[in-house]
Amino acid sequence: MKSICVFCGSNAGHDPRYRAAAEDLGRLLAERRIDLVYGGGNVGLMGALADACLAAGGTVVGVIPEALLGKEVAGRHVDHRALTRLEVVESMHTRKARMAELADGFIALPGGFGTFEEFCEVLTWGQLGFHGKPIGLLNVNGFYDPLLALFARAVAEGFLRDENRAMALAADDIASLLAAMAAYRPEPVSKWLKEAQQL
């Protein structure tokens, strides 16, 4: 993987472990010479992630809709340095498509509705065969345990196949997650349960 798109909160959260994880991820991406693609803001976990990557000499590409330029305070980051590149796009839909185009894989740190939606959308795109890129949850302090439990419930209730569920990689430490993502190979499985049963 030469580039990873990271979804995360524009707030930092109450637990300092969330910010620490964002900073650790940013530094490790820089050390491994993996470009960071993210939402372009300099607040919350987004800002901590980008600042850490920049400070470690990494490449950071931000993609932000014009409407959010003021709200997410895009632009200047650590030591008043600019991002390596900031792309301003028309809409949230364009933002997500562009981030996906630039990335070889995806990681979700803790966040809110936007993070959940971005993660689930690229997961759905993978399930439908629109891409074969690895998708991971960095499960800091068990933050994503309820979501992982929901995925398991969806399998148990017949809404999700085990093979599709396996596309959502998860680990509580960065090195393990990156290793799982590097080893990931997409399976040619069908989303449709009835279709698979008829074969």
- The pTM of the full predicted model, rounded to 2 decimals, is 0.89
**Total number of domains in the chain:** 1
- What local confidence, expressed as pLDDT, does residue 195 receive? 53
Span 83-110, average pLDDT = 94
Q: Which of 1-10, 67-76, 181-190 has the lowest mean pLDDT?
A: 67-76
Give Rg (Cα) of the chain. 17
- What local confidence, expressed as pLDDT, does residue 69 receive? 72
d(CA 168, CA 172): 13
Span 161-174, average pLDDT = 95
Give the CATH number, domain containing residue 146: 3.40.50.450
Convert the pLDDT of each residue in 23-63 to its tens digit. Answer: 999 999 999 999 999 999 888 999 999 999 999 999 999 99
Token representation of residue 32: 């491994």
d(CA 133, CA 126): 7
With CA atoms as reference, report the closest residue to 73 among 35, 47, 38, 37.
Answer: 47
Mark 147-162 as b/e (b = at least 16 C-beta within 10 Å): beeebeeebeeeebbe
Distances 82 to 33, 62, 177 between C-alpha atoms, Å: 18, 10, 29
Beta-carbon count within 10 A of 190 CB: 15
- What local confidence, expressed as pLDDT, does residue 199 receive? 44
d(CA 189, CA 196): 9
Its domain, for residue 69, covers 3-198
Convert the pLDDT of each residue in 116-146 to its tens digit. Answer: 999 999 999 999 999 999 999 999 999 999 9
Q: Which of 45-54, 80-89, 118-127, 172-181 has the lowest mean pLDDT?
A: 80-89
Q: Strand 60-65 vs strand 135-138: parallel, antiparallel, or unpaired?
A: unpaired
d(CA 72, CA 52): 17
